[in-house]
Amino acid sequence: MTSVLPNVVSGENPESMPTVADYLAADRGTPSPPLFERSTLDLGNAPVAKDCYTSKAYHDVEVERLWKKTWQMACRENDIPAVGDRLVYDIVGQSVIIVRVAPDAIRAYHNVCRHRGNRLLEEGCPPSAVIECSFHGWSWNLDGSLRRVPCRWDFPEVDDAKFGLPECRVGRWNGMVFVNLDSEAEPFDDHIGDTLRRHFECWPRERAWKAGHVGKVLPCNWKVAAEAFLEVYHTVRTHADSLTFTADCNAQYDFWGPHLRLISCFGAPSPHVGDGVDDQTTVETMVGALLTKTFGEDITIPVLKDGERPRDVMSDLVRQGIRERIGVDLSGASDAEVLDIIQYYVFPNLWPWGGYAFPLVFRVRPNGDDHESSIFEMMVLVPLPPGIDPPKDMPLRMTPSDEPWAEAFELGALGRFLDQDMVNLNKIQRGLNSDGLREVVFANAQERNIRNFHHHLTDRLERGQ
């Protein structure tokens, strides 16, 4: 049995490839309206100088004009669910304390003692009603006001009203806490924009539980790591074993201002393999590569009946697995929303996924002052049935750089795919330093989101905000 949608050998004729809109139209259920929205702006085909990945001077400009001035996700609200809970977020030599000061109030402070500059807190700090310096015991209340100075008589120049902890700005969206080190930066609502807010009303994450948060230091510039997750063009080689069930070169790419989205449909073969894969093979390979590693080895591979599509039976298997394992009923969700990659990107370094198939959030950031190193993190958000309050989110667990992602039990089947990506990331930075390369080029369609990323990054660096 072959697909009811057209296909094309080798992906060489885009006019004959089925589009994401074609798959949505053939799906059961009613996909959420945001999936039908498109952006079509042409960004041209200019190359990008490789210096942005290899130059320490370029990194230094990013530090001053991007990372110290942009809104960036520091944690989830459920990382600090109770009053007195606090968390440390480090970025390019700066450190921020995020603390819940009241049931519905969160503040952020520069992580530095006003006395001698000691870091006040470190990762994994326990809850407390006081922020205290471990050096001399100066302390502050949760609202940032100065609480106590030992031998207060010896500091006549210290004005309590002026010695509160210096604050950072805070924004909150979709269960996440964002911070900005610049007191004069654009308002958070302007940064996040109306489109992302409206889209994620369909897939709210506030009540999800972060069941896993795994990180690793990568030997590449943060933009190299970021760009690997802004396209699926690399599937044809890097993830070639998934071509039987992944529509890759006919994926959809959209952007709204600096923020991006890609949609890649599962349960359909890649146009690269054309009609060489029948529908039963699509089902069998997808069950083996993804579902058995996510829901368990006891899944019976269904045999397609006349008129059934792989997307029909695969989405039903996902619904069944989610219902049996976490008690969430997705019978009202469309096939696309329980099956496909619906991956958003919030400038400059956050990937919250839409839909229900992959309840993930990625984050990438520079590794301190090392411009050829980065920190990549993956968070797994588990939806919860109505009436169940989420426990406190699991904290970040950093793993050794040489340890495979597949060994991270929290990631299930996704770890294997990340390991395939790592093969490239471990080599790209070395290649970028070659004297034989001066610039990089991007595909007009499949890498258009990377073009948009560089367009807005360059604009921020030139404007200084």
- 3-state secondary structure labels for all residues of 36-55: HCCCCCCCCCCCEECHHHHC
Residues near 76 by beta carbon (within 8 Å), at least 6 away in sequence: 175, 176, 177, 210, 379, 393
Q: What is the pLDDT of residue 110?
A: 98
Phi, psi of 376, rounded to the nearest 5 degrees: -110, 135
CA distance 283 to 304: 8
CA distance 213 to 411: 9
Q: What is the pLDDT of residue 259?
A: 98
Among residues 181, 143, 157, which one has the least CA distance to residue 63?
181
CA distance 391 to 292: 27
CA distance 360 to 54: 29
Q: What is the pLDDT of residue 12?
A: 66
Instruction: State pTM to two decimals.
Output: 0.94
pLDDT tens series, the chain, 465 aa:
333 333 334 556 777 899 999 999 999 999 999 999 999 888 889 999 999 999 999 999 999 999 999 999 999 999 999 999 999 999 999 999 999 999 999 999 999 999 999 999 999 999 999 999 999 999 999 999 999 999 999 999 999 999 999 999 999 999 999 999 999 999 999 999 999 999 999 999 999 999 999 999 999 999 999 999 999 999 999 999 999 999 999 999 999 999 999 999 999 999 999 788 999 999 999 988 877 767 666 778 889 998 899 999 999 999 998 999 899 999 999 999 999 999 999 999 999 999 999 999 999 999 999 999 999 999 999 999 989 989 999 999 999 999 999 999 999 889 999 999 999 998 999 999 999 999 999 999 999 999 999 999 999 999 876
H/E element, 397: strand 397-398
Q: What is the pLDDT of residue 2?
A: 37
CA distance 11 to 396: 40
| Cα separation values, 16 from 6, 12, 169, 252, Å | 7, 9, 49, 15
Alpha-carbon 427 to chain mean position: 22
| Cα separation values, 75 from 35, 93, 108, 201, 362, Å | 27, 18, 11, 20, 12
Q: What is the pLDDT of residue 7?
A: 39
Place of tokens 């044809």: 236
Place of tokens 């100088």: 49
Residues near 39 by beta carbon (within 8 Å), at least 6 away in sequence: 254, 255, 256
Among residues 392, 78, 92, which one has the least CA distance to residue 221?
92
- Domains in the chain (CATH in brackets) are 14-49+206-463 (3.90.380), 72-184 (2.102.10.10)
Q: What is the pLDDT of residue 464?
A: 75
Q: What is the pLDDT of residue 407?
A: 95
CA distance 234 to 239: 7
Q: What is the pLDDT of residue 297?
A: 64
Within 10 angstroms of residue 195's Cβ, the number of other Cβ atoms is 18
